[in-house]
Structure 1
Amino acid sequence: QIIKSVINLQKGNQLSIRYGLSSYERISLYEGRQHYIDAKYNHKGWNMIALGKYLESEGYGKNSLFVRPKINISKTINKLGGWTIEYGYEQEKNEVIQTVDQSLQDRSFDFNINRFIIENNQDNQLTIKIEAKQRSDQLPINGALVESIKTNELSAESKWKINDSNNLKWTLGVRDFEVIDQEAIDQQSKTTILSRIAYNIKLWNGLLSSTMNYDISSGQEPKQEFTYEKVEPGQGNYIYIGNSSTPEEDELFLYEYSEIDTANYIKIFLFNNEFIRTNNQSLNISLRINPHKVIKNKKNFFRKFATNHSIRFNQKVEDNGEESNFQPLNFSLDNVSLTSYRSLIANTLFFNRTSTAFDIQLGNRLTENRNVQIVGIEDRGLAEYFSRLRFQIISATDFIVNVKTGTKTYESNFFSQRNFHIKYWNVSPEINWRPTANWRIISSYQYDTRLQQLSGMETANSHDITFESTYRRASKSSYNLSFSLVNVEYNGTANSTIEYDLLDGLKDGKNYLWNLNITRRMAKNVDLNISYDGRKTGISPIVHVARAQVKATF
């Protein structure tokens, strides 16, 4: 049996109240009654919204009570320039009791939230918002709901729109998480912070534009334990070197580039309840200089230049309480409490960037990555300088030359036999032909030389000839076919760790690689992807890897 009734009261746009009562009954099995109210009031700057639900039921061996009131009251003071004061309250209580022994079920809970906000008119040039919030959680202990957690939060945010192309935004938040009863929850009391400063600027009609973001936060990192599991070739991220039936961690290598179709091990993380509290900070800066924004004479030489610059730092430092070594804006690798570190510095100079006739690029890229694991420190680094020249031979045909030189490093405290310091240089001319708007054919040659500057001083020289064809029909299908012949000269030990790092998974001698990838739109939101990779490296047998995937987007 179902019964519903609703009462509506309304006074213009100033006041509206809606009350409802409903009941549901299955004789001798279940009986439930729900009350709800929805009230709104708006008059002379006062605004109130009240929502509430009250549900009680008996049946199936349980009595339950569910309560959810929510109220927001705000007042806008126009005489003070549109400042608004707001108070909010919210509760949710779910109490379930077994009728046999009147015991409280473990899934019962009760929380209360009180919120206070003060803010000015958000259409102002300078906006400010301050919020204070308190939450109290009651959890079941010994047959009763007992206050177990109390959380206090204070946050502030502001946005200053200096002009149409220059604005500053910042946020700052502090959260105090207090565990009152350790029996109810297996967590520790802690204080966390979250802050962010973002500055966007555009000067001289766009000649110079920049974005800067700096973030500080608190968090926790799991103590990572892992193992390796063998999978089908091409389905993994690691490859094993050696003859053991139980590979050790230092004998497994993360794939890079061409190793993807033979990697047959995956790393599985073993979850545990051990965490490390961390203080985190990140800095991102991008700068773009475009002289063509202010130089209108198209024949002016300096108008053809442009530059892009990027700086990124990300650091996590262990929070050791009073002995914490966290220092804002200090991204040094020398911090003894460091748990992880990432950095990137990239610069690119463009000349004649928008021209279809020719263009030139010069740049460099510096990266540093550090992970602090239980077994020690692991560092990876890259320092690369590059140039790119493109000019149009005839219509729809470009000649492109890429040159790169740099060093790639890896250092591990525990697995020192894996360390490398590789210096490399390569040049790659290619011809890029577009017979139609949908079809592209590329033929390229690459000469690459590499020197391991540690231990055995191994060297590798390679000659790579590649042909690639791509055909695309917008929103319908794409076809990509490639074939590469790579002749490698390597003077080091076969099946060693440095061989994989120097040769990217290839072997001494002739290496053949081919690939076919087909993507087809089967329906409006369904794509079919079929790929096939083949390789013949050195004297190793041919490897074939085929994949099929259906992707549906909802």
Structure 2
Amino acid sequence: MLNKICCVFILVIINSHARSISEEFRSKEIFVVNDTIQIDSISIQKEGFKILDQGKKEVIPKSEYKIDFTTSHLIIDKTKYRKIIIEYYRYPDFLTKTYVPFDKGLIVANSQCTGKLYSETTNKKNNEFIFLDGLQTSGFITRGVTTGNNQNAVTNATLDLTLSGKLSDKVGIRANIFDTNFPLQQEGYSQNITDFDRIFIELYNKNWNIRGGDLNLSNKSTYFLNFEKQVSGLEVGAKYGKDLNAKFSGAIVRGRFSVFDFVGSEGNQGPYKIYGTNNESAIIMVEGSERVFVNGVVIEKGENKDYIIDYNLAEIKFNTTYPITNDMRIRIEFQYADRNYTRFITYGKTEYKNTSFSVAGFFYNENDVKNQPVQQNLTDTQKEILTNAGNNSDKMTVQSAFIDEFSINKIQYKKILRGTKEIFEYTTDDGGEVYTVTFTNVGENKGDYRVNETIALGTIYKYVGENLGDFNPVVKLSAPTKLQILALNSTFKPSEKIQLSTELAISDNDQNLFSVIDDQENKKIATKVKWEQQIVNKTWNISGKLNYKFIQDKFQTVQRFQTVEFNRDWNLENRIGNQSELGASIIFNNKKRIKIAYDFQYLTFSNNFSGYRQVIEAKIKKEKVDFWLNASQLSNMSTLRDGSFYKVKSKIKRSFNRSWAGLAVNFESNQRKLSGTNYFDSLSHRFNEVEEVYGIGDSVKVFAKIGFNYRTNDSIKSNVFKQINKRKTFYLKTKLIQNKRTNLSVYANFRMTDNEFEKNEIALNSRVIYNQHFFKNFLTLETLYETTSGNLARQDFVYIETEPGQGYYIWNDYNKDGKQQFDEFEVAQFQDQAIYLRVALPNIRFIPTQCLNYKQSITLNPQRWEVSKGIRKLISHFFNNGYFSINNEQEKKEKGFWWNPYKIKTSNLLSLSYSVRNNFYYNRNLQRYSWVYTYGKSKNKQQFSVGSQESTSLIHQLNFQHKLTLFCAFETQGVYSESRLQTENLVNRNYHIKTKEIRPKLTFFYNKDHKLSFFYNFKKKENFDYGTEKLELQKLGLSYFLFSSKNQLKIDVAISSNKFSGKINTPVSYQMLEGLQVGNNYTWNLFWNQKLTSMLNLSLNYFGRKSQEINTIHSGAVQLKAIF
């Protein structure tokens, strides 16, 4: 057991991680005939699994398919993807072969002469230790080094291990260990990989457990200390007999808890930007930490649920089937990465519980280490500011500007006088003092600066006048904080029908560990007492509750412990003073049909607020009728306002044999008056809502539901209630057909809002899904049509430098001025040149849009006729698959909708993704006289801060493949294509390139393990409309491939001759030359993989290139990989 534990913990601390291609690597080209594909005969690894669209040469998103790694089953849309390339790793033989305790060949037949069957040499089993024996494992460890004469050496490391099993008869283990260089996406970014992954190792038995790594720390056993946090640390739990248990945790906090509230916009599905506690826009949310509430009701995340969320950009978008209106109060509770200080958390609980009595103690401590700042380096002056600020965050700001050395690749400013005021102005002049300045968003019209423009280096700000902007040249300091909570609760049950519960909590909330000012406000208490009693007879269960809560002013907890809409329900604006709440309730419950509850609550905040609230809730079910009611009445008085608030929500449903009908009535009236006057407060409101619905079917499989909703909203105008709008909503939700051949579902929601004081609004959300198989799958149709409204961001981004080979972009200084401009960054053609990443900035500028999404695929598959004769036999050699997709966003207008997906040539078009592709096959999947003709056309339009960008492409491609003999095959490819790029402001990037290309290839097979190919490529390019550049390329090369059970070898050598006329060192020339130089270019690469043992693989990857005016460039990587 000791050996096993040591091995596991050694794996955790190993810092050797890099990917390599082993002998278990496989790459398969598959024609997708059926939706379900058997990839391999054994289980495959999730690490390194990738599917590419053979036509587009792009990685297919994970959302487009389902994969079962255990059974090697892939489910993918056969109409959308006709030919795919699957890259994956098999599990090594030692994991997949069959193990038996003895050789069956030693068994002999039963006979009379076996009495003396023995051997003079005794077979002894060696006492051999087998690595991780007895545990279920999957994963790998790699270490690698990449280097070259055009880049520095870069080490790569990866550890990905999942294991479970028994270390002994009493001790089990489970672990998920993952550590790697985070796979940054071309358009993405992250602060830390631990914001996303779950990494842990746990030892356990029936009485204790120890878990280290990522923890989901939560407590639902108390009222005041109710929380859930994602942390990284150590957790220990133990049970002592049946009645006593304890748990202790110590960890580093992964995120900071925050709440963001906003009101939805009519007909706007998003995305909506989510801000941090201090109005930060550049935040990264901790994945899975959010809870989203709409009008106090929690909703679900998912493509087919209510919303989706982008954790990197902190943006939420609501799905088409969850329409958003301006009556929706939306709250998001979440954690986001906060690295101002090293922050630790300790949490412990001890609980004793038997049949009649329980008592528990809880301790929570979360504090920053004030002498260990992470993202801010505090000077002595800044520490003094924090010391004098106390708990007042408005005093925690400092000037951000400091004198710096001039750099052409930095955004810098100079000081100038505007009247009598010194301001900062962007400069590129190296004369005089220059400043590096950080600007902070201080709120709308609370600052003096606004965003002027975004360039490749970042954002430039401009002075616009005092309190006319949103930004100031200041930095808001973050003070280290501490929060400690001690909670005790107990429950006493003198009988089965009586229960007494108590809870006491003490909080110590220090909002500034640098300062002793206001420390007298740190420690506060809260308490709760509840009495419950039940009266039961054969028909009714009557229960009563009496409770009292006292919460001292400024008592602080980890997360919200009251209801989501507590403030709204009580007409609270600012909670000032000690809170006292007295409540009494009684519930009548007929176990079969009726439940009625009445609740009375009385709430005070010292002498500032008092109010009482009555709530009645009823649920009645009688035969085929269901009735539900929730009604409340509030009367409140405060030093500023008095109010009365009435709310009613009710529903009734009548079921018939195959249908149902329902009616819902909602009502609110909140009358708030200024104290001592007869004047209404501006937040007074009133609405009435009626909804009718009728449905057919079982509401799950095949059904249709149609409804109508009518709502009026009243607000205060000239101190009287006046109607401000009325809304009519018509909606339809159906699943009309669902069987093996047909699937048809329709959703539509149409709203008309008549506003009295603003322009009228209309909104439409719709989705139609139709899938149909005709004539035993001879013809397959798949259709998606969707309309909605939302926002489109004018995306800002910057380029940041990273390690060579770790990025995606190259910077070409086209104008030789040493400055980085947007039009000088290109996608790197060679890995050693990829030293820049494009990082998306938080979106703060959105354009309202109307969106339309339409997808259509048509497949003709006569291959089932291949066993027929005559004309059907001939037709069976053909196969055709067509796919059309369009997703466009138009600028939203006051009236009208965008119905026609093909109408894209309009001035209102802001974003477009348009694609048409058709593949026509002859002898598909065969090696003799196999033809495929491909037609493709695409158009894309995007909005950036530097202006819009529109690209179009057209392609005609003919492929031919034929196996001449058993040892020789010929294939060729002819291509005619056009590509066009039009930018709004970067005109030097505009081009219209026409390309003609032919690529013959001859391959010789020595045997199944050896293959030698000779290839030739002739390509002619010409730039029309925007220039006169021309290119004639000839490329000649050979490729050798060796594959065996223990090693792989691949060698490619090519020479390219580029005859180019036109301007050199421009974006257009870079695109046409594809990163190569004018004249002769030589490229060669070698890949070698060697299986050292059943678990270890060594690989070498080398690439070299040489041009006439450039020295030879070498780059290579060596990697060692252990697979479990």
Q: Structure 1 residues 275, 97: CA separation in 2 closer, same or farther (over 3 Å shift)?
A: farther
Please show how residues 117-156 of structure 1 align to structure 2 within 5 Å: 120-121=697-698, 126-128=702-704
Q: Which moved more, 1:190-199 or 1:410-419?
A: 190-199
Letter matched to residue 166 of structure 1:
T
1:111 equivalenced with 2:564 (yes/no): yes
Deviation at 1:344, TM superposition (A): 0.8
Provide the rounded CA distance (Å) in 2 between the counterparts of 1:288 and 1:59: 68
Q: CA separation in 2, counterparts of 1:312 and 1:552? A: 43
Which residue matches 2:352?
3
1:250 aligns with 2:703: no
Provide, for residues 222-271 of structure 1, a one-character-per-residue CA deviation record: whole Å limited to 9, x for no partner: 3322222334444232431422221221222334xx35542433322222
Change over 3 Å in CA distance of 1:482–1:122 after alignment to 2: farther
Shift of 1:214: 1.7
Q: Which amino acid aligns with 1:59?
A: I
- 1:237 equivalent among 809, 818, 821: 809
Q: In structure 2, what residue type is equivalent to 1:200?
A: N
User: Post-superposition shift, 1:539?
Assistant: 1.1
Q: Which residue of the partner structure matches residue 43 of structure 1?
A: none
Please list the CA deviations of residues 354-395 of structure 1 after superposition, one character each: whole Å capped at 9, or x if unmatched: 433221111211111111334333111111101011111122
Letter in 2 for 1:31: A
Determine the C-alpha separation between the residues in 2 that align with 1:34 and 1:396.
83
Q: Select which of 310, 314, 317 maps to 2:887.
A: 314
Q: How many pairs are equivalent?
A: 456
Q: Is the 8 A contact 1:259 1:504 kept in 2?
A: no
**One-letter amino acid of the structure 2 residue matched with residue 317 of structure 1:** Q
Q: Structure 1 CA distance, aligned partners of 2:781 and 2:787?
A: 20
Say if 2:863 is the partner of 1:292. Answer: yes
CA contact (8 A) 1:344 1:366 kept: yes
Greater RCO (Cα-Cα under 8 Å, separation 6 or more): 2
What do the CA deviations read for 1:44-81 (whole angstroms, capped 9, x no partner)? xxxxxxxxxx9955134365799xxxxxxxxxxxxxxx
CA 1:310–1:414: 2 relative to 1, 3 Å: same
Alignment partners' CA distance in 2, 1:436 and 1:55: 81
Q: Is the 8 A contact 2:850 2:898 kept in 1?
A: no
Question: 1:159–1:169: 8 Å Cα contact kept in structure 2?
Answer: yes
Which shows bigger deviation, 277-286 or 224-233?
224-233
Determine if the alignment matches structure 1 residue 302 to structure 2 residue 875: yes
8 Å CA contact retained: 2:794, 2:943 = no
Letter in 2 for 1:385: H
| 1:503 equivalent in alignment to 2:956 | no
Query: Residue 361 of structure 2: which of 15, 20, 24 is its match?
Result: 24
Residue pair 1:97, 1:104 contacting (<8 A) in 2 also: no
Structure with greater proportional strand content: 1
Provide, for residues 84-131 of structure 1, a one-character-per-residue CA deviation record: whole Å limited to 9, x for no partner.
xxxxxxxxxxxx9985x444669436337999898743675x334689
Bigger shift: residues 511-520 or 387-396: 511-520
| Aligned equivalents of 1:528, 1:191: Cα separation in 2 | 64
Between the aligned partners of 2:1021 and 2:769, the Cα distance in structure 1 is 42
Distance 1:165 1:412, change over 3 A: same
State the AA in 1 paired with 2:965: I
The verdict on how the C-alpha distance between 1:254 and 1:193 changes in structure 2, with shifts beyond 3 A counting, is farther
Counterpart residue type for residue 23 of structure 1: A
What is the deviation of 1:462?
A: 0.9
Aligned residue runs from structure 1 range 149-548, under 5 A: 157-161=733-737, 163-172=739-748, 195-234=766-805, 235-242=807-814, 243-255=816-828, 258-294=829-865, 296-297=867-868, 300-319=873-892, 322=894, 326-395=897-966, 397-437=968-1008, 440-470=1011-1041, 480-517=1050-1087, 531-546=1101-1116
Find the residue that maps to 2:1000 and give its secondary structure.
Answer: strand
Q: d(CA) in 1 for partners of 2:972 and 2:1091?
A: 35
Query: Does 1:58 pair with 2:58?
Result: no
**1:436-480 Cα deviation digits (max 9, x unpaired):** 556554331111111111344221111112333445679x98654
Structure 1 pair 528/414, CA: closer, same or farther in 2 (3 Å)?
A: farther
8 A contact 1:241–1:497 mirrored in 2: no
Between the aligned partners of 1:281 and 1:168, the Cα distance in structure 2 is 19
Cα deviation for residue 335 of structure 1 reads: 3.2
Structure 1 length-normalised TM: 0.69
> 3-state DSSP class of the match of 1:271?
coil
3-state SS in 2 of match to 1:499: helix
**Greater shift after overlay, 395-404 or 106-115?**
106-115
In the alignment, is the contact (CA less than 8 A) between 1:424 and 1:450 conserved in 2?
A: yes
- The 3-state SS of whatever aligns with 2:563 is strand
Distance across 2 between alignment mates of 1:223 and 1:458? 32
**Cα pair 2:507 2:555 within 8 Å, conserved:** no
- Distance in 2, matches of 1:458 and 1:259, equals 23
Instruction: Report the Cα distance in structure 2 between the residues aligned to 1:519 and 1:191, rounded to whole angstroms.
Output: 63
User: Partners in 2 of 1:292 and 1:486 — Cα distance?
Assistant: 41
In 1, Cα distance between equivalents of 2:490 and 2:1042: 62
SS in 2 for 1:250: helix
Q: Would the aligned equivalents of 1:97 and 1:103 in 2 still touch at CA under 8 Å?
A: no
Report what 1:33 is aligned to.
Answer: 489
Q: Which residue identity lines up with residue 110 of structure 1 in the other structure? A: T
Alpha-carbon spacing, 1:447–1:473, altered in 2? closer, same or farther (3 Å): same
Amino acid at match of 2:868: N
> Is the 2:990–2:1026 contact (alpha carbons within 8 Å) kept by the matching residues of 1?
no
Deviation at 1:215, TM superposition (A): 2.4
Counterpart-to-counterpart distance in 2, 1:218 and 1:530: 52
Change (3 A) 1:411 1:222: closer
Q: Secondary structure at 1:205's aligned position in 2?
A: coil
Deviations 1:163-218 (A, max 9, x none): 53122123446899xxxxxxxxxxxxx99865432111111122111211122333
Q: What is aligned with 1:91?
A: none
Q: CA deviation at 1:433?
A: 4.3
SS in 2 for 1:206: coil
Secondary structure class of the residue paired with 1:334? coil
Q: How has the CA–CA distance of structure 1 residues 158 and 468 changed in structure 2, closer, same or farther, with 3 Å as cutoff?
A: farther
* Corresponding letter in the other structure for 2:975: K
After TM superposition, give the deviation of residue 154 of structure 1 in Å. 10
Per-residue CA deviations over 1:376-415 (Å, capped at 9, x if unaligned) read 3311111110101111112254210100012111112212
Question: What SS class does the counterpart of residue 111 from structure 1 fall into?
Answer: coil
- Give, in whole Å, the separation in 1 of the partners of 2:1114 and 2:1080: 17
Give, in whole Å, the separation in 2 of the partners of 1:550 and 1:122.
56
Question: 1:246 aligns to what SS in structure 2?
Answer: coil
- 1:70-89 to 2 correspondences below 5 Å: none
Deviations 1:270-298 (A, max 9, x none): 22533333332211111111223346425
Amino acid at match of 1:301: L
CA RMSD of aligned residues (A): 4.5
